[in-house]
Structure 1
Amino acid sequence: MIQEKILELVKYGLTTGLVDKEDEVYTINRLLELFKVDDIEDETFEKAADLPDWTQDEAESRLEDILSDMMSYAYDNGLMSENSIVYRDLFDTKIMGCLVSPPSAIRAEFNRLYKEESPLAATDYFYKLSCDSNYIRRQRIKKDLKWTTDTEFGTLDITINLSKPEKDPKAIAAAKNAKQSAYPKCQLCKENEGYAGRVNHPARQNHRIIPVTINNSDWFFQYSPYVYYNEHCIVFNSKHTPMKIERATFGKLLDFVTQFPHYFVGSNADLPIVGGSILSHDHFQGGHYTFAMAKAPIEKELIFKGFEDVKAGIVKWPMSVIRIKAADKERLIELADRILCAWRGYTDEEAFIFAETDGEPHNTITPIARKRGGDFELDLVLRNNITTEEHPLGVYHPHAHLHHIKKENIGLIEVMGLAVLPARLKGEMAELKDAILTGKDLRSTKTLESHADWAEGFMKKYDKIDETNIDGIINEEIGLVFNEVLKCAGVYKCTKEGREAFERFVGYVNK
């Protein structure tokens, strides 16, 4: 069986372009070594040769089953110590690593396509390779639940993330007992490329990264293994250095979209609560996608003194966004830096904006860059991470009555209008759906009770809720909760008082 599966996997590699025809025998032999098999019988080769060719789609659909059979063989023959998701992920990555060309070859092809064809051709090649190598696990990502919800601010994207597997108890125990290593220092470091992994760090033999120079500094470009939107990429510093929003950040973002004008790129903020999940390694996120925030219009035009040549305005968005636009990148960098420096030190007690308390800074910015026609555009999202007794997780953070749906940080992706919701909601919404349809007490279980106030509130809005419309209703209402989440995260609310306070800050910048 394993001989047949090796030939099937190599056929997958040849079909997708991962394996060059001249490397076919070499790849077969690498896989034989991995599975500790000495040879392949002639009749097995003959049987494989008689099979019809596959299309790209057929190859994609077969990969999961091929790898599953290979891992079952590996466990049965003592090549895998545990037959669980963590150990299977470590081993199937090792398998796929046998099919992926070395970094030098991939970088050379990327650079050739960039120079001879276009930046789009280069990223198309690299994204397809990242998918075909199973670094981006397409079959898992298909399990994510996705839909949209229309709001007064535009169409929000909603996803329940089911693609990232949960660790099993044995793997958690093994990770706890495993020797702690500082190599790689984190999951973003360049040392991950080709790394075998361990129970407390993912395998990356099938992972490749592309060097990029932005703003005269050395960075790398890769894709996120669990893409939340089209061509979700990560751009990360070559050095393991903490996140920092500063003048140079704007230069790096704008330099990246100069080189890859079909992508947007943005940075999480550099403070806890309002920042991303990894603050220890400076990085950006981007991709080939247009979020609702990018489509949102200017609500009020602004003029910044000394920058009359730069178009500016407050964006019609639940979070507090200043959009600046110009053909000259340097003018945008100058103005963005002025706004950032002003915001870092800005306090407005009436609006409950405090630059710092007890020496702890609270103000920062989430910046996003894009190219629009001949102009460069920066969206500067004002953030503040102050906490109070009433809101211990953050005043400008999802408030407690929304935690049953979204409790986690509002990072760059959410800021732009895509909700990344926890996997627990799939089961919880199924339980809620059953309770609503059967008339069950909405406070009869702990799970139902957490959603009861919300459900009782939205049920009043509908004349009829039954099997034909309940899924759409629940999805719609989850989307509306995310809309409220974004309103919570806005430092200036979309009210008369909020906009007056927002303009006070603009006046402060102009002073």
Structure 2
Amino acid sequence: MIYAYIDKLVQKAKEAELIEAADVIYVRNQVIQLFKLEAFPEESAVEKLSDDLSIHDVIDWLVSYATDQAIIENLLDMKDIFAANLMNCFVARPSAVRETFYDKYKQAPTAATAYFYQLSKNSNYIQMNRIKNNISYKIDTAYGVMDITINLSKPEKDPEEIKRERAMKKDVHYPKCLLCKENEGYAGRIGHPARSNHRIIPIELAGETWNLQYSPYVYYNEHSIVFSDEHRDMKIDRQAFERLLHFTEKFPHYFIGSNADLPIVGGSILSHDHYQGGCYEFAMTRAEDSFQFPLNNFPDVTASVLKWPMSVIRLRGKSSIELVNAGELILKSWRCYSDKAAHIHAFTEAVPHNTITPIARVRNGSFELDLVLRNNRTTAEHPLGIFHPHADVHHIKKENIGLIEVMGLAVLPPRLKEELGEITKLLLGKENTVKDYHQQWADAIVQEYGIISTVSEAEQIVKKELGKKFVRVLEDAGVFKEKQSFQRFLDILN
């Protein structure tokens, strides 16, 4: 069946407009070379295969075949490298992709991003078959409807692969990180993901070259990454605000935001300046104003504090420059702000603790800039961070609260799939193996709801209570727990 599946891949690639009719013989010959085949039959039996197969389904079958035939080692990274090389036979060169992107941009920014997003999915760069394994749902909270995702899209590596990965990391430093532009077309290796089928789009932001790509494991619609052409550390400053708002001018249908630039409150990659964006409305976007406050030097800017579990200032205005200026004032003020009553210290000796997670968008003809105040100070009581998920919620979420979580989308560890199932059994009065670290929470759920008779109702209760825990996670990360302490900071802005 190998020939049938190769033919099916060529057929699907043509339907997806990755290739044209004139390319068929060429790309087929490229593919058979990867499988160490010397010829291709006149009849491939492709008609025996279902039309419902996607490109991703066909790729999965072909990679399994390559493993079974010992064409490649049965290691996750080697299989990913082979799959990327396979699809690279069908993906246009970077110059052609960029030309098409900007031709479509002349029609509309939405046309350009729709083309590039579809290309990234069709090329199997975005791992759609893995992403569909994620458990995702929405849940009502006191702050609006939030998103919950249990991340099941990244397969676990076996011990041998982990051992080899550690050895490789000592010797190879190219590309410098997972975001560098040198990843475009890079085959990959043990410990560094395959990128043969990867394409990026250079864009100009505030006088600098940046690059647009999509996340291989998208958590929301058109989950994009915008990264600096230069490998340099993350930095939140005036220029960052300028770039974010400039991006929304170029792509007004996208939001864009940045992780904070300090450990604990920052993202997983602080070594390369980058942002995340996409075409999605998060719960925080829909959050209402808790109250407005004046910015005396910026009468054309509307400033408010959001009704949100974290400490968020929203700036609105017609002028992006005015928002940048107002944002810079707030950032500089916050960087050096301390309030012992609120447990906020700007510095420990010379080590800074205060920073901001910024998010920009265009809405109803105005620019918006959300500034989420962050602090990464630790104490003996809270060694992972005072404004970080506290120990009593670590059974749900212990990792950093990055940009995506800040906006109201929980990215939770894969262990919860099974663990929440055991809590559901407890709620149904069935035999279970609830983990010790969940037991107090699980018992409290049973005490509140009693024994439930139907599986669907029990599952819904567990989801609801999980949503409450995620809200607690965000509340822990909020630097101001009450309006009075927030107001003390706002007062210094004028």
> 1:91 aligns to what SS in structure 2?
helix
Q: Which residue of 2 aligns with 1:479?
A: 467
- AA at the equivalent of 2:491: G
Number of aligned residue pairs = 492
> 1:42 aligns to what SS in structure 2?
coil
For normalisation by structure 2, the TM-score amounts to: 0.97
Question: Are positions 1:462 and 2:452 aligned together?
Answer: no
Question: Are positions 1:331 and 2:318 aligned together?
Answer: no
Q: Which residue of 1 aligns with 2:272?
A: 281
Higher mean displacement: 169-178 or 131-140: 169-178
> 1:458 aligns to what SS in structure 2?
helix
Q: Which residue of 2 aligns with 1:106?
A: 97
Q: Which runs of 5+ in 2 are unaligned?
A: none
Q: Which residue of 2 aligns with 1:198?
A: 189
Match of 1:167 among 157, 160, 174: 157
For 1:271-420, list aligned pairs within 5 A.
271-420=262-411
Question: Are positions 1:120 and 2:110 aligned together?
Answer: yes
Shift of 1:74: 2.0
Shift in alpha-carbon separation, 1:462–1:52, aligned structure 2, 3 A = closer
Match of 1:150 among 114, 126, 140: 140
Higher mean displacement: 458-467 or 317-326: 458-467
Q: Which residue of 2 aligns with 1:24?
A: 24
Match of 1:74 among 60, 66, 80: 66
CA distance in 1, matches of 2:457, 2:364: 42
> 2:493 aligns to what SS in structure 1?
helix
Shift in alpha-carbon separation, 1:65–1:157, aligned structure 2, 3 A = closer
CA distance in 2, matches of 1:488, 1:68: 42
Higher mean displacement: 363-372 or 5-14: 5-14
> 1:278 aligns to what SS in structure 2?
coil
CA distance in 1, matches of 2:58, 2:49: 17
Higher mean displacement: 427-436 or 9-18: 427-436
Shift of 1:439: 5.0
Do the aligned partners of 2:232 and 2:272 also contact (CA within 8 Å) in 1?
A: yes
Q: Which residue of 1 aligns with 2:483?
A: 499
Q: Which runs of 5+ in 1 are unaligned?
A: none
> 1:43 aligns to what SS in structure 2?
coil
CA distance in 2, matches of 1:105, 1:160: 37
Do the aligned partners of 2:13 and 2:55 also contact (CA within 8 Å) in 1?
A: no
* Percent identity between the two aligned chains: 50
Please give the per-residue CA displacement for 1:196-235, whole angstroms capped at 9, x wherever unaligned: 0001100011111000000110000000010011110000
Do the aligned partners of 1:149 and 1:480 also contact (CA within 8 Å) in 2?
A: no
For normalisation by structure 1, the TM-score amounts to: 0.93
Question: Are positions 1:139 and 2:129 aligned together?
Answer: yes
Q: Which residue of 1 aligns with 2:251?
A: 260
CA distance in 2, matches of 1:65, 1:131: 13
Q: Which residue of 2 aligns with 1:176?
A: 166
Shift of 1:461: 2.0
Do the aligned partners of 2:148 and 2:410 also contact (CA within 8 Å) in 1?
A: yes
Shift in alpha-carbon separation, 1:484–1:76, aligned structure 2, 3 A = closer
Aligned-pair Cα RMSD in Å: 1.6
Shift of 1:84: 3.4
CA distance in 1, matches of 2:456, 2:42: 57
Question: Are positions 1:237 and 2:228 aligned together?
Answer: yes
Please give the per-residue CA displacement for 1:254-282, whole angstroms capped at 9, x wherever unaligned: 00000000000000000000000000000
Shift of 1:418: 0.4
Shift in alpha-carbon separation, 1:434–1:152, aligned structure 2, 3 A = closer
> 1:195 aligns to what SS in structure 2?
coil
CA distance in 2, matches of 1:425, 1:468: 18
Q: Which residue of 2 aligns with 1:33?
A: 33
Shift of 1:325: 0.7
Shift of 1:52: 9.6
Question: Are positions 1:434 and 2:437 aligned together?
Answer: no
Shift in alpha-carbon separation, 1:357–1:90, aligned structure 2, 3 A = same
Please give the per-residue CA displacement for 1:46-102, whole angstroms capped at 9, x wherever unaligned: x44x67995xxx3xx43344223322332344320x223332222111111111111
Q: Which residue of 1 aligns with 2:261?
A: 270
> 2:449 aligns to what SS in structure 1?
coil
- AA at the equivalent of 1:503: Q
- AA at the equivalent of 1:504: R
Do the aligned partners of 1:86 and 1:168 also contact (CA within 8 Å) in 2?
A: no
Do the aligned partners of 2:55 and 2:122 also contact (CA within 8 Å) in 1?
A: no
Do the aligned partners of 2:56 and 2:129 also contact (CA within 8 Å) in 1?
A: yes
> 2:242 aligns to what SS in structure 1?
helix
Shift in alpha-carbon separation, 1:124–1:246, aligned structure 2, 3 A = same
- AA at the equivalent of 2:160: K
> 2:338 aligns to what SS in structure 1?
coil
Shift of 1:469: 1.2
> 2:334 aligns to what SS in structure 1?
helix
Higher mean displacement: 373-382 or 453-462: 453-462
